Structure 1
Amino acid sequence: MHAQPGDRNCKNEAIGGSHYGPVIVYLSKVDNAASADGSSAWFKIFEDGWSAKSGAGSGDDDNWGVKDLNACCGKMDVPISKDLADGDYLLRAEVIALHTAGSSGGAQFYMTCYQISISGGTGTAKPSTVSFPGAYKASDPGILVNIHSKLSGYVVPGGSVASIGTTKAAGSGCGSGCASTCDASKGPVGTAIPVTGGGGAGTSPGTGSPPSCTVAKYGQCGGQGWTGCTTCASGSTCQGVSVPYYYQCA
């Protein structure tokens, strides 16, 4: 999973620009994945959220699912339970970026959806479900949170992981599965579309490198400690979203 379509370069962070937050995966049982519209019920099968890091001064310095995703070149092992029923499913893989989530509407959601088919399952699993929209509220503690301050805990939104699902400990590494062994340059290329919840507008970008490169829309272009590109691609401008911490092209 990479923010930029077609990008499989492990030298680039999958979700860059200090967009820290949880990684969440849901499934939805459907009659025909090719024609399903996503309005059916969903159940959570995976999450990689947050864990405290010794000596961390703020939530930015703690362990996050996004940091694990970046460390593993955009790959995350998501086991599929043998207890699921055979048939078609939609799989929703999602990152919630919390760098501007200190005010309502500031969290950013990066999602991609896959059409999959499961065979050989027992069909005994009956997980509880949620709906989209409806699973998230702007006031949820996992969506409205200031990660630039020290955190004592974090609750991943979207309800509990199903009993047949997996909860990965943030900061636990890539493991021994596909996340550490698969070739990121192989396989089909998917897309992830950022949905911006908004935030306060600033007046000036942070400092960084000279304009020898450009930042795509929704990418980071400035902020406290930012040393990357500060020039936005044509059609967008560098705007303060969480001044002075974060500016992005919009």
Structure 2
Amino acid sequence: MRTNQVHPFLTMKFATAAALFAAAGCASAHTIFQEISVNGVSQGNHNCMRLPSYDGPISDVTSSSMSCNGSPNTLDTVSPNVCSVPAGAQVTLRWGHTLTSGSSDVIDASHKGPIMVYMAKVSNAATSAAPTSGWFKIYEAGLSGGKWAVDNLIANGGKLTVTIPSCIPAGDYLFRGELIALHAASSYPGAQLYMECAQIRVTGGGSKSPATVSIPGAYKSSDPGITYNLYSGQTTYTIPGPRPFTC
């Protein structure tokens, strides 16, 4: 009796073809973090946001655009407003494929990867340049039980809810939502990083000073969360950057 087997070379070729298809066929299936809600109340679509009109990624982790996006994605939709957020509040971030996309068009399902949220204190959230230092992470989700953070985001209509630490000082902050798509990340530069910043003013709060990192600087090209083969059957993933701050 003859057993049909797939030659290892063909298996490798199929995996390579799948990776190339995901990279090429979904090249325009990008995403933009574009709205926040505070304790369940929407602050208005695009309000208090620094947004590009183009939904393209950053692939160079040393780029000065890593903090709040930028060149080659011009930030041409920048709100003059700052949204008030009580310390300890629940903030919901909403992503969409474009600035006019609804909840059914978040990002292509092939763009699997982690989601992180950072904050940085600034003197004026509406006018301060995006800092390269002073960033601290408040949330991260990667791969758990075979599900990626992006899978859960799509299932939830592009929405993710996080908690503002109750112990951080009151004042103005840039609130950075970041998604990393790993479908082409098997070599560097291949990971697609999507980030935008909301402009918020934390009220109440405390006096804790979180440890901070620089962005760019928190990630390296050799990090296992930046260079990662999505198609190799791995069941674990190391999220790049620091661990989230807790009070």
Give the TM-score, by structure 1 length: 0.59
- CA shift, 1:3, in A, is 2.8
Q: Which residue of 1 aligns with 2:50?
A: none
AA aligned opposite 1:65 = A
Decide which of 132, 135, 144 is 1:51's aligned counterpart: 144
Does residue 1:138 correspond to 2:138, yes or no? no
Greater relative contact order (Cα < 8 A, sep 6+): 2
AA aligned opposite 2:212 = T
Q: Which residue of 1 aligns with 2:151?
A: 67
Q: Which residue of 2 aligns with 1:19?
A: 111
AA aligned opposite 1:44 = K
Q: Is the 8 A contact 1:22 1:156 kept in 2?
A: yes
Correspondences of 1:1-250 after superposition (within 5 Å):
1-7=95-101, 9-12=102-105, 14-39=106-131, 40-52=133-145, 62-123=146-207, 125-164=208-247
- CA shift, 1:11, in A, is 2.4
Q: What is the CA–CA distance in structure 1 between the aligned matches of 2:123 and 2:103, rounded to whole Å?
A: 36
Q: What is the CA–CA distance in structure 2 between the aligned matches of 1:11 and 1:42, rounded to whole Å?
A: 31
- CA shift, 1:93, in A, is 0.2
Aligned residues: 152
Q: Is the 8 A contact 1:27 1:92 kept in 2?
A: yes
- CA shift, 1:104, in A, is 1.2
Q: What is the CA–CA distance in structure 2 between the aligned matches of 1:109 and 1:131, rounded to whole Å?
A: 16
Q: Is the 8 A contact 1:3 1:110 kept in 2?
A: no
Q: What is the CA–CA distance in structure 2 between the aligned matches of 1:3 and 1:44, rounded to whole Å?
A: 24
- CA shift, 1:101, in A, is 0.3
Q: Which has the higher strand share?
A: 2
Q: Which runs of 5+ in 2 are unaligned?
A: 1-94
Q: Is the 8 A contact 2:109 2:151 kept in 1?
A: no
Percent of pairs identical after alignment?
Answer: 45
AA aligned opposite 1:2 = G
Q: Which residue of 2 aligns with 1:224?
A: none
